[in-house]
Structure 1
């Protein structure tokens, strides 16, 4: 891959931006085709022009804002408390048995707020990042780091989709779909006129391609958008949909599900006025998530905005939410709140070998 900051490294980074440049090129061409060729030249009614341009620009700006946030939101970093100290790393790197490695990790992780395990029931450890993976975190080989609540790496945004930008990604899909549907719907009349030979000039080809491109993207975005709506309502990431998270009690694809409305709030927040704006409102800190009652370890309480208290051993306190889909709400009256304790923020995980997967 080449040395960091070397010629090959910079070349590879530049290549990764090609999909983003392609998307932006198509979007800005569509702006020209719609505003100039359709609204300015093809449409004669001023009322119709004003109506089309008003709604077009609202969708255009929301779409670009969401896309920008998805692309440029920082993935954050895993708090230092999850990182293995150098002395412990030396022990792990020595030719010791798998059971010895497991005991070292278990001892270090006993006071960490984690419930997920490997398939073998071991602590999830990232050898490359040298840290214990927070729940739902995974190592991205493309980004070269552990990503909190990693959903997938998306080449079209040249970024991972995870805890910090999942809401933005969903809004990007939603506004991109609405943008394409609006263009296809309002340009259909002129697409028909093109085939009837009622449009003249070079601009008619812009209108032809505008309708076809908008329709093509709308079709492809529809399945992706509704698939992620399904994932949100069930509180799963794309990775968790293919490989259910492992808990101490075994696999459970619904281990993080709190009920559809609470699952939605976990991504979009509890302020309904900000749900459809690309500003960060997701609940929690990305390191700790509420789990269903059967996965709870001891008694604890949780604050949806990232503050909780749960005592383990030496008087150390940390957060963990435990909820039952049928008897609790994420933010409503039935939730009992404990004393608040400030938490560290951001990102995530990786993988080791057979034991650590």
Structure 2
């Protein structure tokens, strides 16, 4: 339950402010790199107007896409669970008070969840629920202890963006990693000749130290970003989150299945980036779905994970999930 603003303590606001420190750290380095590259390298060091213009044009292209993606990743609101998943107060109290009785818990949760689009369950086969948010968790949703709420398709909480990476901003996060990597590679490659001149003693003035550190910082961040970017490219291709990579989701009647949401690599990519090629590489919202229901591999293979103990509803789920994909996609084989 949210705490009224007037009741929030000074410690709460201090904690909120401290969480922005990693973001300010990144912004400070980016601002300095802009000064070092544009002023010290391009204006004062690079010779020839044509070379300066080319350096600046491509630099600002990478800088703009990187900054735009970073902004979207930070300030896009996390996906919150709809109210239809909320457990009524009376039922919630019964579930908590009878926490030692799995039968009572399961009976109440089954009655509440039988009409919800849920296929993910606990290891024991029951509905997943959150005691803090008082909800039945939708598929792929998890509670973030930092944000204090359950988040749709939660990947992880990232301190460098002071936000959860989730259904609403996962595309932005992957683009941010990609453009940040390209930014670092571009800066390091174009500053490399002048870094060599520094060691030869051909550069003079205070600007040479800016160029020296610019090269080292770009290489350092580039190496860090490379592994993270390609790891998330792998996760996109497999249709998994970071949490699901460590612990495969459980499906009703099946158990843990790390390939449960794998519907073919191209379809997996489209689920995050959308079906319009023109918008793939822009940080605008194009992800398919609503963050609540997801196509399943089993549905494309002619079987289903039962979200309800009802054959008619299982058949309806197959038709619903299959209709989310166009006819060409449904014919693509599972890789």
Are the counterparts in 2 of residues 288 and 319 from structure 1 also a CA contact under 8 Å?
no
The answer as to 2:261 corresponding to 1:256 is yes
Structure-2 residue corresponding to 1:219: 223
Of 157, 161, 167, 1:157 maps to 161
Once residues 92 and 219 of structure 2 are traced to their aligned partners in structure 1, the CA distance between those partners, rounded to angstroms, is 54
Structure-1 residue corresponding to 2:288: 283
Are the counterparts in 2 of residues 17 and 158 from structure 1 also a CA contact under 8 Å?
yes
The answer as to 2:330 corresponding to 1:330 is no
Structure-1 residue corresponding to 2:40: 37
Are the counterparts in 2 of residues 291 and 321 from structure 1 also a CA contact under 8 Å?
no
Q: Count the aligned residue pairs.
A: 318
Structure-2 residue corresponding to 1:49: 52
Structure-1 residue corresponding to 2:209: 205
In the TM superposition, what are the counterparts of 1:15-94 in structure 2 within 5 Å?
15-94=18-97
Once residues 263 and 334 of structure 1 are traced to their aligned partners in structure 2, the CA distance between those partners, rounded to angstroms, is 11
Once residues 53 and 32 of structure 2 are traced to their aligned partners in structure 1, the CA distance between those partners, rounded to angstroms, is 20
CA deviations on 1:308-331 (whole Å, 9 max, x unpaired) are: xx9749xxx8898546xxxx9933
Structure-1 residue corresponding to 2:275: 270
Structure-1 residue corresponding to 2:171: 167
Unaligned runs of 5+ in 2: none
Once residues 320 and 257 of structure 1 are traced to their aligned partners in structure 2, the CA distance between those partners, rounded to angstroms, is 18
The answer as to 2:306 corresponding to 1:297 is yes
Cα distance, 1:136–1:144 mapped onto 2, change above 3 Å: same
Structure-1 residue corresponding to 2:17: 14
Once residues 298 and 138 of structure 1 are traced to their aligned partners in structure 2, the CA distance between those partners, rounded to angstroms, is 18
Once residues 179 and 319 of structure 1 are traced to their aligned partners in structure 2, the CA distance between those partners, rounded to angstroms, is 44
CA deviations on 1:94-137 (whole Å, 9 max, x unpaired) are: 33612111111011101110000111111000010000100000
Are the counterparts in 2 of residues 138 and 148 from structure 1 also a CA contact under 8 Å?
yes
Q: Give 1:93 shift.
A: 2.7
Cα distance, 1:37–1:120 mapped onto 2, change above 3 Å: same
Are the counterparts in 1 of residues 262 and 297 from structure 2 also a CA contact under 8 Å?
yes
> TM-score when scaled to structure 2?
0.90
Once residues 268 and 70 of structure 2 are traced to their aligned partners in structure 1, the CA distance between those partners, rounded to angstroms, is 23
The structure whose residues are more often helix, as a share, is 2
Are the counterparts in 2 of residues 37 and 206 from structure 1 also a CA contact under 8 Å?
yes
Once residues 204 and 77 of structure 1 are traced to their aligned partners in structure 2, the CA distance between those partners, rounded to angstroms, is 49
SS of structure 2 residue aligned to 1:42: coil
Aligned-residue Cα RMSD (Å) equals 2.3
